[in-house]
Amino acid sequence: MNSRLVTIKKFSSPWEADLAKTHLEACGINAFIIDSQTISVNWLFANAIGGIKLQVYEEHATEAKEILSNVAVEVEELNREEKIICPECESEKVTQINWERRWSLVSILFLGFPVFYPRNRYQCQHCGNKWKERSGRAVKTD
Ligand SMILES: [Zn+2]
């Protein structure tokens, strides 16, 4: 039996690597994270040493890659379901304006309570429509 470890995927953040490792182990594949400690200490090392490596035994490599590619698809589909579309033209090219949330965080830091109520604002890149989300409903602004 060949028990050489091979790198099947690289990650830039430790939590992504942990998630993938947990998923593989749930499928009965032993997985090992290499270089995670170094990157946790200084994330600038991440590029220098080629990211956090997820390794499995060579005989599991093909299966493990397949499992992880299925996970990637699941994540993608989840994002698609939550995609915000413009209520005017139904374009998906929407940017989120979070300045109110940012200000409320700043005021929490300095005053101990939020000055602005955190609320999401959106702007459509296609038609320029601006709106905010209130109790799951789109409310038009200016
Ligand atoms: Zn629009």
pLDDT in tens, 69-116: 877 666 555 555 566 788 899 888 887 765 555 666 666 677 776 665
List, as one string, the DSSP characters of 24-80: HHHTT--EEEESHHHHHH-TTHHHHTTSEEEEEEGGGHHHHHHHHHHHHHHHHHHHH
pLDDT in tens, 111-138: 776 665 555 678 888 999 988 876 556 6
- What is the 132 CA–ligand 1 centroid distance (Å)? 13
- CA 94 – CA 141 distance, rounded (Å): 15
**Taking the mean position of all CA atoms in its chain, how far away is CA 32?**
21
Amino acid at residue number 119: R
- What is the 44 CA–ligand 1 centroid distance (Å)? 39
Beta-carbon neighbours within 5 Å of ion ligand 1: 86, 88-89, 91, 124, 126-127, 129
Count, in order, helices (H) and strands (E) of the chain.
5, 7
